Amino acid sequence: MAETPYAPSRIRALPSWLLGRAAARGHRLVADALAAEGMRMMHHAVLSGVAELGPLSQAELGRTLGIDPKDMVAIVNDLQKDGLVTRTPDPKDRRKNAIEISADGRRRLRRTQQLGDEANAELTAALTPDEREQLIALLTRIALPVE
């Protein structure tokens, strides 16, 4: 792992700096783990979304996941090329395609979820199980505030 760049002690004590460093480390760990399975993080997120929400239109999937339509087209094309999702006419609107996870997609998703879990376990290895649970609860309150 790359060395952390120098930051003055006042900066190193800021939650925003610490969260950024932790996020960067977590991103690297998960990206490297997924790459071992030939998967990028955004592709994994889309495949997970399709598995959880599908079948649904590409536009609806993009809006739900907050992915730009141009990027969504490329990601779904890649996933379809790899046989991980299928496009079929949407029963609600025949002008659109519904994206659905394939059997191969489900198998790949199970593997990449396991790899992601292992990477997250490595990220939080210095914590006890109770501390991990507390960290997730606190991060949820910060990242997903109730309005």
Domains and CATH numbers, the chain: 20-119 (1.10.10.10)
| Cα 69 versus chain centre, distance | 17
Cα–Cα distance measured from residue 19 to residue 147, given in angstroms and rounded to the nearest whole number = 22
pTM of this prediction? 0.86
Q: Residue 16 class from Cβ within 10 Å (0-12 exposed, 13-18 middle, 19+ buried)? A: exposed
pLDDT digits (tens, 9 = 90+) for 18-44: 999 999 999 999 999 999 999 999 999
Cα–Cα distance measured from residue 22 to residue 17, given in angstroms and rounded to the nearest whole number = 9
Q: What Rg, from alpha-carbon coordinates, does the chain have?
A: 18
pLDDT at 137 over 50: yes
Q: Helix or strand or coil: residue 90? A: strand
pLDDT digits (tens, 9 = 90+) for 45-63: 999 999 999 899 988 999 9
pLDDT at 3 over 70: no
Q: Do the Cβ atoms of 79 and 71 come closer than 8 Å? A: no
Closest CA to 110 of 37, 57, 53, 25: 37
Cα–Cα distance measured from residue 84 to residue 75, given in angstroms and rounded to the nearest whole number = 11
Cα–Cα distance measured from residue 60 to residue 10, given in angstroms and rounded to the nearest whole number = 44
pLDDT digits (tens, 9 = 90+) for 73-120: 999 999 999 999 999 987 778 788 899 999 999 999 999 999 999 999
